[in-house]
Structure 1
Amino acid sequence: MQWLENRQMAGNSGPVLSAVIVTSAKNGNLRRTIAGLRNQEMRSLLEIILVTASTGRQIPRDLDTDCFFGVKVIELDPLTCRGEARLCGIRNASAPVVAFVEDHAYPDDGWGEALLGAHTGLRAAVGYQICNANPASAVSWANLFLFYGPWVEHAAPAADILLPSENISYRRDILLQYGDSLASFFENDYVLHMDLRRRGFSLYLEPAARLFHWNIDTYPAAVFYSYMNGVIFAAARSSRWRVARRLLYAGGSFLIPFIRAPRIVGDFLRTGRGKLLPGCVPALLAGLLAGACGEMTGYLLGAAKKELLGDATAGEETS
């Protein structure tokens, strides 16, 4: 089994998998995340890394973590950016494979074993099959397909495809090659995935590694999150682009809903969830429009920043 080989890679004495959870200590869903990890067959070889803002709140002490190989709690300044927090998790992990799990996402039984079995060869990253943890809400389903559409209830393994951000696993040794620059890549994994492929590594989706994701289920929060996700995505994607290219993409942002909508409809149909689509249309439209506005903002803010800096990095343009 591959996870036993990973045990040998770890020197026969360390964990085979480190689960990194960047969390707010006040998040009550964390208990359910830990419970999902506790149900893994290889839990005694699973290391838990909890990265949290030091806000005076404490990680709950009744999480029942004695079954794991070990648990580390890393407290950071509340103003630490997401990329830095995730990089901190990587650096404090001990296992050869590091799996990021959000504190509102819950691994299904067999998730860890399937994940480790898929980490072979030049696969730098392995993604999970994403399922809905709060399926009673149309807004929840809309947000699940907005942010995880291609990976929702994906029944077949898939190689060399782009993978989602946040809930994903990586080979630690490959990530450490990036040094401090990894923090900026971690603001949105899309940029990292493109760079990994450029370096000759492959990406893989393992459907047997199922993760249930709790989605935003109210309109105000959904619109805000879609907007902010668009800002972060565009800023990360275009960080090394020339000003002219940023402005071009900002001007074309109004096309984004027309590009994404058919893909999302296709994902609803692929998963057999087509009957849910009519009820999800209002939330989908709101999310698509908010996301497009966010991307426009991200491209324009980056363009303005580059203009102020004299476009000092113009020679570093990447796609």
Structure 2
Amino acid sequence: MSEPNSPLMSIVIATPDDFDVIRHTISYLLRQTVRASLEMVIVAPSRAQLNLDQTRLSALLAEFAQVQIVEVGAIRSIGRANAAGIRRAMAPLVALAEDHCFPDPQWAESLIRAHRGPWAAVGPAVRNANPNSAVSWADLFIGYGPWLWPTTAREADFLPGHNTSYKRDLLLGYGPQLEPMMEAETLLHWDLRQKGHRLYLDPSAQVAHTNFSLWRSWLPVQFYNGRLFAGARVRETALWRRALFVAGSPVIPALRLWRIWRGLEPGEQRRRFRSCVHALAIGLILDGAGQLVGYAAGIGRAVDQVARFEFHRFRHIRDEDRRDLSLA
């Protein structure tokens, strides 16, 4: 049982340098209907580098149940940063946030309410925060297709990476394996389900996700994400099984394209799919190539590369997207 003034949920958000990187997301967290029951856990290289002055810190403390700053040194791994925040979190529930994903005001309240059920993890429905390019829609379909708004509440096989909430004790049970599990959360979700736990998608919790909209950024990201997922998946797998994954890699782009289409709602979602299918096909081919390399040769430097693109998302979107988001 929580103490009267203790947080109900901790929000973990990482920045590779200063507070300005996460300022926009924090502004949305400050609009949460239950912000007085939330703990903010800010993961940063150091308190000095975060550059969070006392005035701004006092303002955050006045709105949230509490605020922690977790110093981890240089951040070259999203999984390591998030795991550090999870271990320091004080609430029984923990939710992950990103510098480029903006939750609706009732997001936290909905997640907390849903966690009263038998769910190990609860994820939100996802909208497109920068919907005016084919690359942005292709990025959203590849990364978040199964959870696009509008959708229905349901038990899920897996949930949105970097944007899901968990019962904290279950995550702590992974011990030293928590960092690699947090690098590719789909594998974490599959593992939770294999252990008998249940996952839930709650569309009353919604986020607007900023997607890559520059080809020069998006294409390498697809390759590195594919390599990271595949390398993590076969990290401790027998050589003969890895060979089977390598042999099956050429069919991955077509299979994923079909699965994305099949999972979309008729109407607007499928119309958007048709409008960006050329970008989708190219992105999935790059993802498939990354998976082939990951199955054959492991993760390599994919963790560093993915982290390099995940932060500072505004550097990887079009100027018109940046202008629109600055007005949001």
- Choose which of 239, 243, 251 in structure 2 pairs with 1:243: 239
Shift of residue 120, structure 1, vs aligned partner: 2.6
Distance 1:75 1:83 in 2: 15
Please give the secondary structure, in 1, of the residue aligned with 2:212. coil
Paired residues for 1:1-319 under 5 Å: 9-25=1-17, 28=20, 30-54=22-46, 57-61=49-53, 62=56, 64-65=59-60, 66-78=62-74, 80-270=76-266, 272-302=268-298
Distance, in Å, in 1 between the alignment partners of 2:248 and 2:94 is 37
Over residues 170-209 of structure 1, what are the superposed CA-to-partner deviations in whole Å (9 max), with x where a residue is unaligned? Answer: 0011111121221121111112112211222111111101
Q: Could you list the runs of 5+ residues in structure 1 that have no partner in the other structure?
A: 1-8, 305-319
Contact 2:232 2:299 (C-alpha < 8 Å) held by counterparts:
no
- Whole-angstrom CA distance in 2 between matches of 1:80 and 1:42: 32
The Cα shift of 1:114 comes to 0.5
What one-letter code is carried by the residue in structure 1 that aligns with 2:289? C
2-structure distance, mates of 1:211, 1:271 = 21
Alignment CA distance shift 1:303-1:191 (3 Å): closer
* C-alpha distance in 2 between matches for 1:152 and 1:103: 19
TM-score by length of 2: 0.84
TM-score by length of 1: 0.86
| d(CA) in 1 for partners of 2:176, 2:28 | 31
More helix by share: 2
Q: Aligned residue pairs: how many? A: 296
Are the aligned partners of 1:246 and 1:302 in contact in 2 as well (CA < 8 Å)?
no
Change in Cα spacing, 1:115 to 1:285, as seen in structure 2 (3 Å) is: same
Moved more, 204-213 or 233-242: 233-242
Q: Distance in 2 between matches of 1:133 and 1:162?
A: 22
CA–CA distance in structure 2, aligned partners of residues 257 and 300 of structure 1: 17
Helix, strand or coil: the match of 1:273? Answer: helix
Determine what percentage of the aligned residue pairs are the same residue.
38
Contact 1:130–1:211 (8 Å) recurs in 2: yes
Distance in 2, matches of 1:215 and 1:185, equals 23
Question: Is the CA contact 2:141–2:260 (under 8 Å) kept in the aligned structure 1?
Answer: yes
- Cα distance in 2 for residues equivalent to 1:130 and 1:175: 23
How far apart are residue 271 of structure 1 and its match?
6.2
C-alpha RMSD of the superposition: 2.2
CA-CA distance at 1:22 after TM superposition? 1.8
Q: Compared with structure 1, are the counterparts of its residues 145 and 271 closer, same or farther at alpha carbon in structure 2 (3 Å cutoff)?
A: farther
